[in-house]
Amino acid sequence: MATLNLVQAINLALQQEMAKDDRVIILGEDVGPNGGVFRVTEGLHAQFGDNRVIDTPLAESGIIGTAIGMAMNGLRPVPEIQFEGFLGPAYDQIVNHAARSRSRSRGAITVPLTIRVPVGGGIHAPELHSDSPEAIYAHSPGIKVVMPTTPYDAKGLLISAIRDPDPVIFFEPKRVYRSFREEVPEDEYTIPIGEAKVVSEGDDLTVVTWGASLFQCIEALDNAPDDVSIELIDLRTVDPFDMETIAASVEKTGRCVVVHEAAMTCGLGAEISSRVQERCFLNLLAPVQRVTGFDTLMPYYKLENEYLVNAKRVGMAIKETLAY
């Protein structure tokens, strides 16, 4: 079994799925011979040619709108938006067409589309290259939002997303692209959309997270005292998220800390917190805590590390929640 990083795992998933299903089309800026600015689509143009790996004009709305049309007419397009900050121009097409088509036509015209987008900060990049807008799309009915962190999860989830009959935004935590490797099976496998993973089991407190912050949480858990056992949940899918797993955990532990890189107000931590409060009210031993980005823009990279959620902040929240 090969040990792959996130870029390689995604590349492998695309390559295998394109070989298996000739309806799968990749399109985006620089995805062809250049292999994508992060090299995620490396080698695919050479293997599958101009018709299936398309270098598009510089127009996000155009990319997504055209991909929507392709999906409406029987293809399985996987457009790439180069950075999450550039989803803006495509918002109308995503939310007002991709997410709406099935409902608008009561199932006659559907959009099996997977939009790949690198997300999140920590790579010392300029503005609009480091944001986390997943809550905006989670709030829009009709589209699913997936954010795997590990190579193994990414491969399984991307294939599920491509095969899903409805539109999916597939966020790829860019600071994890090359920083973590693990064994990824060559064989075909899928991970269901909407299923969380319990990364480690525990009885005293539940940490819920997704995206690159997973690693900061793991670090915080490593630094926690030995007599405390913490259950760590990686959601993997942000919308619809796996409330069953979260509820079962909090019923057991009675304490919950939600960690996300995105800004606090109206981030998904608020939704999770609310549902935990509703479902597990009688089991709660402490209020649900959120460790998140501030209600500010992500600063330019000199101050980036002040903004990003780190193991220390996660650890503080864990400690305070345990002490409550």
Partner 1 sequence: MAGKVSSDPNIFLLPDIGEGLQEAELVKWLVSVGDTVEEGQDMAEVETDKALAEIPSPRNGVIKELRGSAGDKIQVGDPFVIYEGGSAPANADSKQDAELVDPQPPSDDVAADEKDQGTVVGKVGDDLVGASSADGKALATPAVRRMARDAGLDINTVVGTGLGGRVTKKDIENAAAGKGASKKPAAPARRETTPVYDTPAPAPKREVMPIPAGQETVAIPFRGVRRKIAERLRHSVNNAVHFTVMDEADITELNILRKKLSAASGEKVSPLPFVASAICNVMSRDEFRALNATVDDANEQIVQHRAVHLGIAADTDSGLMVPVIKDCDGLGVLEIGREVARVARAARDRSIGRDELMGSTFTLSNVGSHAGRFATPIINYPEVGILAAGRGREGMVVKNGMFRVGMLLPLSLACDHRVVDGATAALALAEIIKLLENPESLLAPARS
Partner 2 sequence: MPKTTAYTATIEYVSILDEKGNFDEKLGKGLITDEQALDLYERMTVCRQLDEFAFKLQRSGRMGTYPQNKGQEAAAVGTALALNPGKDWVVPSYRENAALFMMGLPMHYVLQYWMGDERGSQIPEGVKMTPLSVPIGTHMLHAAGIGYAEKIRGTKNVVATYFGDGATSEGDFHEAMNFASVLKSPVIFINQNNSWAISVPRAKQMASETVAQKALAYGMPTVRVDGNDIFAVKYAMDEAVKRARAGEGPSFIEAVTYRLGDHTTADDARRYRDPAEVEAWIARDPLIRTRKYLEAKKIWDQSKDDTLQERAKTIVKEVVATAEGVSKPEVDSIFNAMYAEPHKELVTQRETMRTSSLGKNPEQVGLKSEALGTRH
The residues binding partner 2 (CB under 8 A) are: 51-52, 54, 56-57, 59, 61-62, 64-75, 77, 89, 92-93, 96-97, 100, 102-110, 141-142, 144, 164-166, 194, 240, 243-244, 275, 278-279
Q: Tell me the β-bridge partners of 170.
A: 116, 146
Residue of 45, 97, 129, 260 with catalytic role: 129
And the tokens for 226?
Answer: 């030995």
Least distance to partner 2, CB of residue 261, Å? 24
Of the candidates 93, 211, 107, 104, the residue with the CA atom closest to the CA atom of residue 149: 211
Please state, in angstroms and as integers, the Cα–Cα distance from residue 66 to each residue in 25, 43, 90, 116, 169, following that order: 12, 23, 11, 15, 16
Question: Cα(87)–Cα(242) distance, rounded to whole angstroms?
Answer: 25
49 binds, among partner 1, partner 2, none (CB under 5 to 8 A by kind): none
d(CA 118, CA 131): 10
Answer whether 78's CB lies under 8 Å from 116's CB.
yes
Tokens read off for 241: 């998220």
71 binds, among partner 1, partner 2, none (CB under 5 to 8 A by kind): partner 2
Q: For residues 70 and 87, which CB has a smaller minimum distance to partner 2 in the complex?
A: 70
Measured distance CA(257)–CA(213) in Å, rounded: 13
Question: How many other β-carbons are positioned within 10 Å of the β-carbon of residue 260?
Answer: 27
CA distance 81 to 63: 8
The CB-of-248 to partner 1 minimum distance in angstroms stands at 9
Please, what is the minimum distance in Å from the beta carbon of residue 178 to partner 2?
Answer: 32
Least Cβ distance, residue 243 to partner 1 (angstroms): 13
Nearest to partner 2 of 69, 185 (CB atom): 69
Amino acid present at 174: K
Tokens read off for 40: 């995620």
Residue ranges that bind partner 1, judged by CB under 8 A: 203, 251-252, 254, 279, 281-285, 287
What is the separation, in whole angstroms, between the first and last Cα of the chain? 45
**Least CB distance from residue 27 to partner 2, whole Å?**
9
Q: Which is nearer to partner 2, 103 or 305 (CB)?
A: 103
Distances (CA, A) of 42 to 39, 46, 60, 114: 5, 9, 21, 18
In terms of CB distance, is 112 or 202 closer to partner 2? 112
Is 129 a known active-site residue?
yes
Cβ closer to partner 1: 99 or 284? 284
251 binds, among partner 2, partner 1, none (CB under 5 to 8 A by kind): partner 1
Which of partner 2, partner 1, none does residue 50 bind to, with CB < 5 to 8 Å depending on kind? none
> Binding partner of residue 72 among partner 2, partner 1, none, CB under 5 to 8 Å per kind?
partner 2
The catalytic site residues sit at 129
